Amino acid sequence: MAENLTIARPYAEAVFRTARETGALPAWSARLERLALIAQDAEMVELIGNPKLSAGQIAQLFISLVGDNDAVLGNFIRVLAENERLALLPEIATLFEANRATEEGVQKAQVQTAFPLSDADLASLLPQLEAHFKTRLTPTVVVDAALIGGVRVAVGDQVLDASVRGKLETMAIALKN
């Protein structure tokens, strides 16, 4: 996997630069997401590795499946096909999204809660978390009953533990000292 990311990085950076220069980051996100899904399809995986098909044929199939007649996209797909890198499209899409998030100042936040959060609860919690972490956040909610109550939020390498379990552990450490 690490090797795939290393190989995919220059392609992701190139397509990111192109998308940023043309002001088309959202469009390229959607295109790459669709291409990644196509590349992960079991039948497409077989076709990508089929020596009987030329790079041009495989590229044309991808172009027809993505349903976008953008010339830059077509050239991108052809380059990937000629270099036998179409299987890396999921990694390219992941790296592109990471670059986009950095560019837009948005970070992913994993919000762990003891109980499911409603959309309204998450909407009221998000501004507080964004103020605490000083960045815009894209939350992913995970239910973990072991927290007993409260929330535990991880953003990158920063963790905000406002859970009952976390407070009990802090209290236990304080009592031992």
Tens of pLDDT, residues 35-81: 999 999 999 999 888 899 999 999 999 999 988 888 999 999 999 99
First-residue to last-residue Cα distance in the chain: 43
pLDDT of residue 2: 66
pLDDT of residue 131: 93
Strand partners for 113: 143, 151
- Could you count the other beta carbons within 10 Å of the beta carbon of residue 100? 18
Architecture of domain 2-102: Orthogonal Bundle (1.10)
Q: Which regions of the chain are under pLDDT 70?
A: 1-2
Q: Which residue has the tokens 């899904």?
A: 37
pLDDT of residue 1: 57
pLDDT of residue 105: 86
pLDDT of residue 118: 93
Nearest to 158 by CA among 127, 130, 118, 116: 130
**Residue 76: C-alpha distances to residues 42, 48, 106 (Å):** 22, 16, 26
- Could you count the other beta carbons within 10 Å of the beta carbon of residue 136? 13
